[in-house]
Amino acid sequence: MSSLQTTVVDHPIVQARLTVMRDETSSNAEFRAALREIASLLVYEATRELERADVPISTPVAPTTGTAIANPPLLVPVLRAGLGMAEAAFNLLPESQMGFVGLARDEETHEPTPYMASLPESLAGRPVLVLDPMLATGGSLLHCLHLLASRGATDLTVICALVAPEGHAALGGSGLPIRLFTASIDERLNENAYIVPGLGDAGDRQFGPR
Ligand code: URA
C-alpha cells in the first residue's frame, strides 16, 4: 500500500526563487543561488516534526531547558544535480550526516544508471532526507528510495524543487512511505522526459553543460 504525503510549498519567496530557476536568462550562479534558497525553505518546512530532546542549559541569567534535535536525519543528495541542495540542508542541520547516491540518466531510455552509493550499512530508525531538484519519471528517485529502504530506512522525506505528475504517480505507486516537499507540480513530461514548463536540465543549469 502506498502512503505518499505531498506538500507543495506555495510561499511567495519559494515561488519567486523558482521563477529565477525557470528563467532561461538566469546565469549558472543565479540558478545555484535560487536552488540553495529553495532547498533551505523546503528543508525548513520538511523538518517541522523532527523529534526533539530537552537539554538542560544555563543562560547568563538562569538555568532553563532548551531543545536539541534528538535524531538528526541522514541527508542524501542525489548526484549530480542534488549537490546544489546539499550545503543548504547541511547549514540548517549541522548535526546531521551526509550520504551520497550517484545516478546518471541514460538519455535514450531515460533509465537511471547507478554509479555510486556511499551510505551507512544500516538506516534502521534513522530519518532520511533525499535531495534532488527534479522528480521527472521518478526512475532515479525510486532507485535511490529502494536502496535506502533496503538498508532499513522507513522514514523517507524527499525534497524536490520541481515535480512532474508522472513522477509523482510513480512515487505514489511505489508502496514506500514517502513524504514529498516541493515548490511545484508542473504540467507534464515532454517526449525527452523533461518537465514542462520545467527549467531544463538542473545539472547543466548549475554546473554548465557536459
Ligand atoms: N531532469 C532535469 O534536470 N530536468 C528535467 O526536466 C527532467 C529531469
ipTM: 0.96
Q: Is 172 exposed, middle or buried (0-12, 13-18, 19+ CB in 10 A)?
A: middle
Residue 1's pLDDT is what? 47
Ligand 1 atom at minimal distance to the Cα of residue 199: 6
Instruction: Give the mean model confidence (pLDDT) for residues 176-180.
Output: 97
User: Is 82 a member of any domain?
Assistant: yes
Write the pLDDT tens digit of every residue in 161-170.
999 999 999 9
Asked if residue 202 has its Cβ within 6 Å of ligand 1, the reply is yes
Write the pLDDT tens digit of every residue in 70-99.
999 999 999 999 999 999 999 999 999 999
Instruction: Give the mean model confidence (pLDDT) for residues 26-39.
Output: 98
Ligand 1 atom at minimal distance to the Cα of residue 133: 3
User: Is 24 a member of any domain?
Assistant: yes
User: Closest Cα to atom 5, ligand 1: which residue?
Assistant: 194
User: Is 58 a member of any domain?
Assistant: no
Write the pLDDT tens digit of every residue in 112-151.
888 999 999 999 999 999 999 999 999 999 999 999 999 9
User: Is 150 a member of any domain?
Assistant: yes
Where residue 32 sits, what CATH number does that domain have? 3.40.50.2020
**CA 5: distance to chain centroid?**
14
Cα–Cα dist 89/92, whole Å: 5
Total domains, the chain? 1
User: Is 57 a member of any domain?
Assistant: no
- Cα(first)–Cα(last) distance of the chain, in Å? 39
Asked if residue 207 has its Cβ within 6 Å of ligand 1, the reply is no
Asked if residue 198 has its Cβ within 6 Å of ligand 1, the reply is yes
User: Is 62 a member of any domain?
Assistant: no
Q: How confident is the model at residue 104 (pLDDT cuts 50, 70, 90)?
A: confident
Ligand 1 atom at minimal distance to the Cα of residue 195: 6
Residue 205 assigned to a binding site:
no
Residue-range definition of the domain harbouring residue 159: 3-51+69-207
Residues 6+ apart with CB under 8 A from 183: 8, 9, 14, 15, 17, 18, 38, 42, 161, 162
User: Is 114 a member of any domain?
Assistant: yes
Asked if residue 194 has its Cβ within 6 Å of ligand 1, the reply is yes
Write the pLDDT tens digit of every residue in 3-22.
999 999 999 999 999 999 99
Residue 41 assigned to a binding site:
no
Task: Please give the model's pTM, rounded to 2 decimal places.
Answer: 0.95
Cα–Cα dist 196/193, whole Å: 9
CA 136 to each of CA 16, 24, 57, 89, 111: distance values in angstroms, whole numbers, following the listed order: 21, 19, 46, 22, 11
Asked if residue 195 has its Cβ within 6 Å of ligand 1, the reply is yes
